[in-house]
Amino acid sequence: MAKLSLFERRRRRVRTALRARAGGKPRLSVHRTGRHIYAQIIDDAAGKTVAAASTLGAKASGANVDAAVEVGKAIAEAAKKAGVTTVVFDRGGFLFHGRVKALADAAREGGLEF
């Protein structure tokens, strides 16, 4: 088995802790890169993506905090359409700070509970 990077170790630790607390709720997973930020709501029981939003869409562009806020609002809207109101937040291996926090706060304002 190859040695895992610090990021991958952190991501696995976060995901394992989430599984213990999730209680069957869908997971709001966030991924960010230097150019984009992505969010998707995943139903782990069914193995399906319920809703998704990213800066690849037309509304938001770039990878700054403003774009993350737009993605947060978009994922909240998509979740409402899919009938999801409560989720658990999966920050992956990223710190809850900056763009990730901005996305989470915007999703909460949009009506998602976590």
CATH code of 27's domain = 3.30.420.100
Tell me the C-alpha distance between 91 and 100, whole Å. Answer: 7
For residue range 9-36, what is the model confidence (pLDDT) as tens digits?
999 999 999 988 888 899 999 999 999 9
Whether residue 99 contacts residue 66, with contact meaning beta carbons closer than 8 Å, is answered with no
Indicate whether 38 belongs to any domain: yes
How many domains, the chain?
1
In a domain, residue 12? The reply is yes
Q: Can you tell me the distance from the alpha carbon of 7 to that of 107, in angstroms, rounded to the nearest whole number?
A: 24
1 within domain boundaries = no
Task: Print the domain residue range for 83.
Answer: 6-109
- For residue 55, is it within any domain? yes
> 66-103 pLDDT, tens per residue?
999 999 999 999 999 999 999 999 999 999 999 999 99
- Tell me if 114 is assigned to some domain: no
55 phi and psi, to 5 degrees? -80, 0
| pTM, entire model | 0.91
